[in-house]
Amino acid sequence: MTANTVIWKAMEMLMPAAPIKKIVILGGGTAGWLSAAMMARVLGRTVDITLVESDEIGIVGVGEATIPPLVNLLVFLGINEDDLLKHVQGTFKLGIEFHDWYEKGHSYGHMFGAPGNPLGVLPFHQYWLRQHQAGKAGSLWDYSLNALAAQQNRFGRLRTIPNTPNMEGMNYALHFDASLLARYVRGHCEKQGVIRREGKVSGVNLRGTDGFIESLTLQSGEVISGDFFLDCSGFQGLLIEGALKSGYEAWTEFLPCDRAWAVPCKAAGPLRPITRTRAHTAGWQWRIPLQHRTGNGHVFSSAFMEADAARDILMNNLDGEALAEPRLISFVTGRRKASWVKNCVSLGLASGFLEPLESTSIHLVQSALQRLAHMFPDTGFNQPEIDEYNRKTKREYELIRDFLVLHYKATKRDDSPFWNHCRTMAVPDSLATKIDYFRQHGRVMVEGDDLFKEANWVQVLIGQGVMPESFSPLALTVPDDSLADYMAHVRQIYDTLLPKIPSHADYIAQYCQAPKG
């Protein structure tokens, strides 16, 4: 190396890194087009955004369920919620029903928002525990506005309850057709200047100096170069794994399901504002109501059930006539060991997979994009920032994993080898500690970055039969008569309000009905 070369290298190190000018997104679908929408919203026209996808490659999902943070994302992106729902055959979602999970014949709800109303420094469920243990209160969900509305198939956009500003209204999320959502967001992105390239990738070209991705070669011969690459290529992780060898951490010892049959069917009965799940002998079934049909799937473990048997269970438990042949999806629950490697970030299924039991798939994309926007790099790609992004992503996946594992571990079911395995399996220490802590006084240890807060954990813990031995001593500071009046008042407010809330179907017909035909 000459003296001039050494001097030049030293000068390069002192020069500030150039800003990113070209972003390339590999893969469409929900993950790809939401990524494009977020980048366009955050960066405007200061960068060129190109998305590469092939119409020959389908997307996973026949019906998609979400959680409430998506509603805020749509506002941020400038997408009108009613217009979106008209185009994606969408419906509203107040929570998730769980049937036969704790034991056959038992059901409960994980509803959005906390039951009841806090009193003083304690959440409502602490007072409910006191009354329930004294035989003076029924189900926790008797004090949940979302649960009561879902039972009556009612829906309204109520952030707060009229004349009771301290009481939570109806938190909600959305159901939609996944393929229609991708098409809708694509149209939104193209109006923002995002360029779409049709084609399959035949080669990923790495820089010889540092192994960073330099460009993608399409089967047509076109070469698409970029500074920063977002891998939304699905399970295969064409960039993050195929080119950069991130590695994968599987969690099948905690979440043994690894297959899913998916099929749409004709809608039957009233349009319900809720996702329904039902546990079967080696997995569980979902039902997602859309305006024009119902999305269905059967998630199961191939170690405990043959694919044909799982298919039969799904097809024999549809609410209406099947509209297509069922599709089999294979997956390995877990995450990439690093979601960000060099100049590539993986999102969606390319980053990891957690079964759709709590509708977290799209949220993981949203959360990753928000994290990426906060830590958006320049062409220097600072390694400590990459490491912090990966640390936060790893922790997010672990926290959601624990919440999912709870549904399988906390069960009385002993009617099949699958449920015997789940009931007796070892679980992560983080989950075991949380369960033990809750058993004492009904308290939940929630970390600041945990997606699922106290109200979420309380509903699933109690729903799965984990009942605390006692309650917070502070709940005893309210006199018996005052507490009884307080509980009755909460229920009276709901009983007065509910008849004024329209049916789910009527609300959709008024605000966001999809065009017929």
Whether residue 29 is annotated as binding a ligand: the answer is yes
The set of residues, in sequence order, having a beta carbon less than 8 Å from that of 14 and lying 6+ positions away, is: none
Strand pairing category for 294-300 and 283-289: antiparallel
- Tell whether residue 93 is among the known ligand binding residues: yes
Residues across the chain? 517
Q: Decide: 308 and 358 in contact? Cβ < 8 Å.
A: no
- The verdict on whether residue 358 carries a ligand-binding annotation is yes
Q: Is 28 annotated as a binding residue?
A: yes
Structural tokens at position 269: 């009965």
Cβ density class 430-441: b for 16+ within 10 Å, e for less: ebeebbeebeeb
The arrangement of strands across the sheet holding 223-225 comes to: 201-206, 213-218, 223-225
Question: Going along 301-393, which residue ranges are E strands?
Answer: 327-330, 334-336, 340-341, 344-346, 352-353
222 marked among binding-site residues: no
63 dihedral zone (left: phi>0; alpha: psi -120 to 50; beta): beta
Cβ atoms of residues 320 and 270 within 8 Å: no
Q: Which residue has 């304690």 as its token pair?
A: 122
What is the CB neighbour count within 10 angstroms for residue 214? 18
Q: Exactly one of 86, 93, 342, 434 is catalytic; name it.
A: 93
Residue 201 is assigned to a ligand binding site: yes
Which strands, in side-by-side order, build the sheet including 334-336? 248-250, 334-336, 352-353
Tell whether residue 169 is among the known ligand binding residues. Answer: no
**How many other β-carbons are positioned within 10 Å of the β-carbon of residue 324?**
11
Asked if residue 313 belongs to a known ligand binding site, the reply is: no
Q: What gap in Å lies between CA 316 and CA 167, rounded to an integer?
A: 42
Catalytic residue status for 93: yes
Residue 31 annotated as part of some ligand binding site:
yes
Strand 283-289 and strand 352-353: pairing?
Answer: unpaired
Q: What is the DSSP letter of 123?
A: -
Residue list for the binding site for 7-chloro-L-tryptophan: 93
Residues at the annotated binding site for FAD? 28-31, 201, 349, 362
The catalytic residue positions are 93
- Residues that constitute the known binding site for L-tryptophan: 358
